[in-house]
Amino acid sequence: MTDTHAQEFWYNSRTGEVEVGKQSLGSELVGPFASEAEAKRAPEKLQERAKAWAEEEADEDR
């Protein structure tokens, strides 16, 4: 039996590091991602999504 979670990549928001599998507290992790490269982009993706959500909310308020 293999651990499928070991092949998942997580971005640790506290350390700024990518982890293979869940190694830290869930509250510190963003993911899972299919690759290390995707996980490294987590902060950028979070900013993009936050901006899009803010724009959507602004449009709804009009």
Give 34-41's long-range contacts (Cβ < 8 A, gap of 24+).
Answer: 34/8, 34/9, 35/9, 36/9, 38/9, 39/9, 39/10, 39/11, 40/11
- State pLDDT tens for residues 41-61: 999 999 999 999 999 988 888
Q: Tell me: pLDDT of 1 over 60.
A: no
% of the chain beyond a pLDDT of 90: 79
* Average pLDDT value for residue range 20-34: 95
Domain boundaries, the chain: 9-57
Element (H, E) at 30: strand 29-33
Q: What is the pTM of this model?
A: 0.76
